[in-house]
Amino acid sequence: MNERNLKDLVIRQSEFKGEIGVARADITPPPGIYARSWGSALHDAAEGIHRPLFVTCMFLRGGAPQTELYLLCFDLGWWKDHAHELEIRKAILEKSGIRDDQLVTHMGHTHAGPATHLQDVGRQGGHLIPPYRERIVEGAVTVLKAARANAQSAVASFTIGRCDLARNRDLVLDSETFLCGINPDGPVDDTVLVGRVTDSKGKIIATLVNYACHPVSLGGGNKLISPDYYGAMREIVERDTGGAPCLFLHGASGDMTPLRSYDADTAIADQNGRQLGYAALSALTGMLPPEQELAFDRIEDSGARLGRWSLRPKPASTMLALTLSETELPYAEIPSEAELLQQLENCTDRPLKERLERRLLVRRDIGDAKGRPVHTTILQIGDAFLVGAPAEPYSAFQKELRSRFPGHAVMVLNIVNGNVGYLAPAATYEKPGLYQIKISRFRPGCMEQVIDATAKSMAALEEAHG
């Protein structure tokens, strides 16, 4: 390699320059609300609060023509069916006055949060669900407006770190025993994608932490409302960034669980969160200054011949755009509503009853259709992509997309603008006893189909906007 080629060597980070605003509101529910997320739980209502729950908004403005987008992150679990998400979304849109195509909603996916589906109103603590839904909407509207009002010229920069909190959770003991627990030999994704938002003076005004790990530090024995591990993670990151709000972006974690999972002790959730928080801070600490790149500078003769690198200006991309990718997925065979109702009538096993009730919601959501279109939401934010799946894909989903777009930071988020359940690799269907496969709505090949459609839309964005 000659010297001229060496001068072409450069290290840069994905960046976006535009107007960015962030706002947060407390949406912690009252103790006593119905909060049974686990079939193994022996209680129905929450007895207290471990850490507060928030709704956080990041407002983005930029691009040509000018685009305005809102990323709205809830410290909540998941949408149980299409109507569940639509009811909340419609109320937010009506009261905020923003368009549907501007709003990207994302669930942090804690399994220690309150119920928000109206089917649970008649259960212990269920009377608190309707007023709590109103609080969710009010909080969302407040932060949507505040984030827009707070918008200022800023640069969002992205980098990659590593954290081994997440472990594979598809554990097969024998031909009849399939567990949702740590599989020491299973594939993992230890990527922590960190975003740093700085104002015109270089001060950090927000951070983003994108990581794929199911928020299930706390299991059926926990009786407290909690954001799970990402509550402590945010506390750690915000403590060391001058209180700048930290947004947790829950990655493609269909097969990922914390090393310490399903516990009743909230100290475990905090321990898991600190581990991720320090990993995020490590990545954040090593980032280049905004709108700078590190380039090969010169050869310096010493005891060894040294390659010297130096910072040089690199204007951030101002591109901001949103598109949807669509693919039609065929449904798997699911028992009829009558069959499920009959099984429920005769069921005395509480965990099994919980599974049947969830399956019944899926059956009613599907109706008589043979399949459904699934839309992936794709944001191009400067040199970075944010890919929102209305589902819970396996980590292979994000690994494949990142491999196809190596020159970009690719943030993949689960449960964005809806939720159609798990998307698993086709090979996983060879293990039909796995939980994710037993409850999947779709046939083998569904995840690969969504990956291809999403990558095609990302490529089209990249070609259109550079």
5 pLDDT tier (thresholds 50, 70, 90): low
* pLDDT tens sequence across 396-414: 999 999 999 998 999 999 9
**What's the alpha-carbon Rg for the chain, to the nearest Å?**
23
β-pairing, 384-388 vs 410-413, is parallel
User: Comparing C-alpha atoms, which of 71, 143, 67, 141 is closest to residue 105?
Assistant: 71
Map tokens 């119905």 to a residue: 34
**For residue 66, what are the contacts with CB-CB under 8 A and spacing of at least 6?**
none
Over residues 104-124, the mean pLDDT reads 97
* pLDDT tens sequence across 445-455: 999 999 999 99
333 pLDDT tier (thresholds 50, 70, 90): confident
β-pairing, 152-162 vs 15-26, is antiparallel
For 18, 344, 354, 454, the CA distances from 358, given in Å and listed in that order, are 43, 11, 6, 28
Over residues 79-92, the mean pLDDT reads 94
- pLDDT exceeds cutoff 60 at 251: yes
- pLDDT exceeds cutoff 60 at 56: yes
For 33, 253, 415, the CA distances from 266, given in Å and listed in that order, are 19, 21, 24
Q: Is 324 left (phi over 0), alpha (psi -120 to 50) or beta?
A: beta
pLDDT of residue 6: 67
Distance CA 457, CA 385 (A): 11
Distance CA 73, CA 194 (A): 16
* Cα end-to-end distance, the chain, whole Å: 29
286 burial level (CB within 10 Å; 0-12, 13-18, 19+): exposed
pLDDT of residue 1: 44
- pLDDT exceeds cutoff 60 at 361: yes
Element (H, E) at 107: strand 103-107
pLDDT of residue 356: 73
Could you give the count of Cα atoms lying within 13 Å of 128 in the half-sphere of its Cβ? 15
* Both structure tokens of 100: 């549907």
pLDDT of residue 4: 58
Distance CA 55, CA 112 (A): 16
**Considering Cα of 29, then 232, then 139, then 248, what sign does the dihedral take?**
negative
- pLDDT exceeds cutoff 80 at 13: yes
Structure-model confidence comparison of residues 338 and 266, the more confident one: 266
What is the overall mean pLDDT for the chain? 94
- pLDDT exceeds cutoff 70 at 281: yes
- pLDDT exceeds cutoff 90 at 54: yes
Over residues 54-58, the mean pLDDT reads 98
* Both structure tokens of 43: 């209680």
Q: Residue 211's beta-bridge partner residues?
A: 192, 250
Q: Are the CB atoms for 183 and 168 separated by under 8 Å? A: yes
pTM attached to this predicted model: 0.94
- pLDDT exceeds cutoff 80 at 11: yes
